[in-house]
Amino acid sequence: MVSEPYGGRLINRVLAGRERERRLSDAKEMISIEVDRGAILDAEKIATGAYSPLEGFMSSTDYYNVVRNETLENGLPWTIPIILAPREEHDAGITGELRDGDEVALYYLGEPFAILHVEERFRFDKRELAEKVFRTVDVRHPNVKELFNMGGILLAGGVDLIQRVDHVLSRYELTPLETRRIFSEMRWEKIAAYQTRNPPHMAHEYIQRCTLEMVDGILIHPVTELKEDDFPPQATVEGYEFLIKNFYPKNRAVLATLSIQMRYAGSRAAIFLAIVRKNYGCTHFVVGRDIAGVGDYYEPYEAHEAMKGLDIGIEPIFFRESFYCKRCRGIVSERTCGHTGDDHVRISMSEVRHIISSGKEPPPQTVRPEIARILKRHLGTAEDPQRST
Ligand SMILES: [Zn+2]
């Protein structure tokens, strides 16, 4: 039995067939707004039900409840605002030309992707959002930087999707309906979601194996839209392909991508990412160390604290940091190994990145050599100045 969608009903606002054709030609006559990649990906996730029960970009009531109280207007916990702030140059048109009740075509790279039924337009306080949600106004924080570049007026209302967003990893981009179908076919009842933004090292693998001892299957679900100095998502996907094919038992792991802008917001982001995975049908959610942090804005275990008493209908599985122990000769954690300090070899993916970029190889106890080779290939490409953006 896969998990109930959050709020009880899986939203589906993806247009299909004749209706899609009709609405596509309508869209070409509407006021159009070109939006950025993060917004169009959010529109897609609203329409496919990944953000159920949301049916559109948030109204002012939902927005203020989420920012100030971490709930939707109806009281359901929700921690990250899902908002549409077109660029500043649209502000005059939004307050002048546009009326509530109008339909607007949302364009991305010159093509119509979605129709927004404008229910409300409102100014928002970016500083308040930054302080409450990201707990910093520092523009070195990737999401805060982006926020301060947005226009000043939010558009709220229901979203209908005309077409899915196409990208290099599209074939991994399963919808909640698709993952739910796969889980049912596999007859999995307990399904753990594994949130990640990195290729796998041995400590990740250890956590996944521990998880597989407890559940029927695992959804490895990397987020794809990351900050510039993260590994490219193609490297993550390829690393996991390798791991699943060569090391995990058949039919215990599904690899899919979640193409949304990563929200680096500590416990708020962790709760949001768990809710989204409930919509994909997962019953459990793996919460490791520093699951949704960046820099040192957040405490590494704050998500554990925040999720302990919170009922969002998906069960967290908490893990402390794991690392290699020279004396145990394996991956351990402070809960499973009695040694200390010098016996332990810890490595983070940013260190792995530095090691590989400087032409060296990470210790094989921490990263499988085959995976290190995959990463090396991708880093070579990523740092090629000729690469088109
Ligand atoms: Zn040990």
What mean pLDDT, rounded, does the chain reach? Answer: 94
CA of 332 to the centre of ligand 1 (A): 7
* Residues 236, 286: Cα–Cα separation, whole Å: 18
pLDDT over 90 (residue 229): no
CA of 341 to the centre of ligand 1 (A): 10
Residue numbers of the domain that contains 54: 17-161
pLDDT digits (tens, 9 = 90+) for 164-198: 999 899 999 999 999 999 999 999 999 999 999 99
> 231 and 354: one domain?
yes
pLDDT for the residue 51? 98
> 332 and 226: one domain?
yes
> 360 and 259: one domain?
yes
Q: Would residue 282 count as lying in a domain?
A: yes
> 117 and 234: one domain?
no
CA of 337 to the centre of ligand 1 (A): 4
pLDDT digits (tens, 9 = 90+) for 24-79: 999 999 999 999 999 999 999 999 999 999 999 999 999 999 999 999 999 999 99
CA of 329 to the centre of ligand 1 (A): 7
* Residues 162, 115: Cα–Cα separation, whole Å: 7
pLDDT band of 381, cuts 50, 70, 90: very low
- Of the three residues 161, 181, 212, the one that is the final residue of a domain is 161
> 259 and 375: one domain?
yes
Residue range 288-302: mean pLDDT, rounded: 93
Q: Verify whether residue 197 is a known catalytic residue.
A: yes
> 141 and 187: one domain?
no
CA of 345 to the centre of ligand 1 (A): 10
Q: Which residues of 135-171 are buried (b: 16+ CB within 10 A; e: fewer)?
A: bbeeeebbbbeebeebbebbbbbbbbbbeebeeebee
pLDDT band of 96, cuts 50, 70, 90: confident
Question: Which residues place a Cβ less than 5 A from the ion ligand 1?
Answer: 325, 327-328, 337, 339
CA of 321 to the centre of ligand 1 (A): 14
* Residues 104, 34: Cα–Cα separation, whole Å: 10
Q: Would residue 192 count as lying in a domain?
A: yes
> 117 and 226: one domain?
no
Question: What is the percent of the chain with per-residue pLDDT over 70, rounded to a whole number?
Answer: 98
CATH of the domain at 120: 3.10.400.10
Q: Tokens 């599904």, residue?
A: 254
Residue range 212-225: mean pLDDT, rounded: 97
Q: Would residue 7 count as lying in a domain?
A: no
Q: Would residue 8 count as lying in a domain?
A: no
- Of the three residues 107, 131, 161, the one that is the final residue of a domain is 161
Q: Which of 143, 175, 179, 198 is catalytic?
A: 198
- Of the three residues 161, 183, 205, the one that is the final residue of a domain is 161
> 196 and 328: one domain?
yes
Q: Would residue 11 count as lying in a domain?
A: no
Question: For residue 223, what are its two tokens?
Answer: 């987020």
Residue range 224-243: mean pLDDT, rounded: 94
CA of 164 to the centre of ligand 1 (A): 48
Between 298 and 388, residue with greater pLDDT: 298
> 115 and 229: one domain?
no
> 120 and 189: one domain?
no
pLDDT for the residue 1? 73
In a 13 Å sphere around the CA of 193, the CA atoms on its Cβ side amount to 33
The dihedral region occupied by 54, where left means phi > 0, alpha psi between -120 and 50, and beta the remainder, is beta
CATH of the domain at 328: 3.40.50.620
Total number of domains constituting the chain: 2
pLDDT band of 238, cuts 50, 70, 90: very high
Q: Would residue 346 count as lying in a domain?
A: yes
* Residues 283, 286: Cα–Cα separation, whole Å: 10
pLDDT for the residue 93? 83
> 138 and 72: one domain?
yes
pLDDT over 60 (residue 389): no
pLDDT for the residue 388? 40
CA of 325 to the centre of ligand 1 (A): 5
pLDDT for the residue 386? 43
CA of 95 to the centre of ligand 1 (A): 63
Q: Verify whether residue 74 is a known catalytic residue.
A: no
CA of 123 to the centre of ligand 1 (A): 55
> 337 and 264: one domain?
yes
Residue type, 148: F
pLDDT for the residue 249? 96
Q: Verify whether residue 149 is a known catalytic residue.
A: no
pLDDT for the residue 384? 46
Q: Which of 136, 196, 211, 366 is catalytic?
A: 196
CA of 198 to the centre of ligand 1 (A): 25
- Bridge partners of residue 32, in order along the sequence: 105
Q: Which of 13, 180, 197, 263 is catalytic?
A: 197
pLDDT for the residue 139? 96
pLDDT over 90 (residue 385): no
Q: Would residue 184 count as lying in a domain?
A: yes
**pTM of structure:** 0.95
3 state SS for the chain: CCCCCCCCCCCCCECCHHHHHHHHHHHCCCEEEECCHHHHHHHHHHHHCCCCCCCEECCHHHHHHHHHHCECCCCCECCCCCCECCCHHHHHHHHCCCCCCCEEEEEECCEEEEEEECCEEEECCHHHHHHHHHCCCCCCCHHHHHHHCCCCEEEEEEEEECCCCCCCCHHHCCCHHHHHHHHHHHCCCCEEEEEECCCCCHHHHHHHHHHHHHCCEEEEEEEEECCCCCCCHHHHHHHHHHHHHHCCCCCCEEECCEEEECCCCHHHHHHHHHHHHHHCCCCEEEECCCCCCCCCCCCCCHHHHHHHCCCCCCEEEECCCEEEECCCCEEEECCCCCCCHHHEECCCHHHHHHHHHCCCCCCCCCCCHHHHHHHHHHHHHHCCCCCCC
CA of 209 to the centre of ligand 1 (A): 18
Q: Would residue 337 count as lying in a domain?
A: yes
